[in-house]
Amino acid sequence: MGLVNCSKCGRLFGTENDDEILCLRCKEEGYESDFKKVREYLYANPGADIEEVAEATEVERARIMRYLREERIEIVDEENALLHCSRCGKSIKTGRYCASCEADVKKELSGALDTMRKLNEKFQKPAAAKKTTDIYTRNITDKK
């Protein structure tokens, strides 16, 4: 861990990585302005692949990949082979899953939620019954 001066704002910041030249604040700032550049470039060149985008905008490839993962941008070409579905490995345009896996994952998720809800109902019934008894007892005591 060393202290480095940010090459943009001059602020001193701690870093694990000696090569790091931008403080976190400036880095995130760049992240947003780079995103605008990438988005504008893709808007003007909808068919561009990641190499073209990186070259034209001078934005790091890794950063463009991050935008893709965050579903902030989309690569139009279906066969770009840049992103793969984390479930079946098919090439995808944006996000984590291909359309059919996303549907499957959602189905599985709601199935799991249903099971959990049923289990919860099972466990909560005795507790609810106990509560009613408590209220009943209290009412009788109040009358006295």
Q: Give me the residues that bind Zn ion (CB under 5 A), please.
A: 6, 8-9, 11, 23, 26, 85, 87-88, 90, 98, 101
CB of 77 to Zn ion, least distance (A): 18
CB of 132 to Zn ion, least distance (A): 49
**Among all chains, which residue has been given the structure tokens 């060149």?**
45
Cα–Cα distance measured from residue 105 to residue 103, given in angstroms and rounded to the nearest whole number:
6
Q: At what angle do helices 61-69 and 50-57 cross, to 10 degrees?
A: 120
Nearer to Zn ion, 65 or 101 (CB): 101
CB of 38 to Zn ion, least distance (A): 21
DSSP 3-state of 10: coil
Calculate Rg over the CA atoms of the chain: 27
Name the region of 27 (left: φ>0; alpha: ψ -120 to 50; beta: rest): alpha
Nearer to Zn ion, 23 or 42 (CB): 23
CB of 90 to Zn ion, least distance (A): 5
CB of 39 to Zn ion, least distance (A): 23
Nearer to Zn ion, 26 or 65 (CB): 26
Kindly compute the dihedral angle of the four CA atoms of residues 28, 32, 33, 38, in this order, to the nearest 10 degrees: 130
Q: How many CB atoms lie within 10 A of CB 104?
A: 14
Nearer to Zn ion, 45 or 100 (CB): 100
Nearer to Zn ion, 28 or 70 (CB): 28
